[in-house]
Homo-oligomer: A and B are copies of this chain.
Amino acid sequence: MDSALPVTLEQIREFNAEMVPFCAEMNIHLESIGDGVAVSRFTHEARWTRPVDFIAGPILMAMADATFYWALFTKIGIVPLAVTNELKYNFLRPAIGGDVICKAEVLKVGRRVAYGTADLYMDGAPDRLVGHATTSYVLPD
């Protein structure tokens, strides 16, 4: 953990438990943070798949959104009212057969808008993206 960050992994996890409870419902958990970066994991569960074992698209979009939110916290601290303005998700390959890892990165934090990306891949296969997202957030005054 980078002690220069304005927030710790543990602080974000406590925030999530209280303020973003649906992530646990979706089996999405924050795994690590760095400067402008966050990594999360979706733990495979049949409830969130389609036949035959395709992981539900909304799980993947949820990962991109939540993980960017957490990455943003590493830049500006925990700001609950930073809100998604828009998110585009491109589905690149079927997400099938295991856990999914999402790595989000902040590309810019401005006064009113933050922007970044999310790479999604099956655990163990970081070079074969199953999806890629970009998102802009609006920051409170």
| Number of A positions contacting B (CB below 8 A) | 43
Counting CB contacts under 8 A, is A5 at the interface? Answer: no
The docked-state distance in angstroms from the alpha carbon of A112 to that of B117 is 22
The segment from A6-14, A33-41, A70-78, A88-96 found at the interface with B is A88-96
- Considering the complex, which residues of chain A in the window 47-97 have a beta carbon less than 8 Å from any beta carbon of chain B? 47-51, 56-59, 61-62, 65-66, 83-93
Copies of this chain in its oligomeric complex: 4
With the chains together, A69 CA to B136 CA distance in Å?
Answer: 19
Shortest A13–chain B CB gap in Å is: 16
Task: List 8 A-B pairs, minimum CB-CB distance, nearest first.
Answer: A58-B62, A88-B88, A86-B90, A22-B56, A61-B61, A92-B108, A84-B91, A58-B58
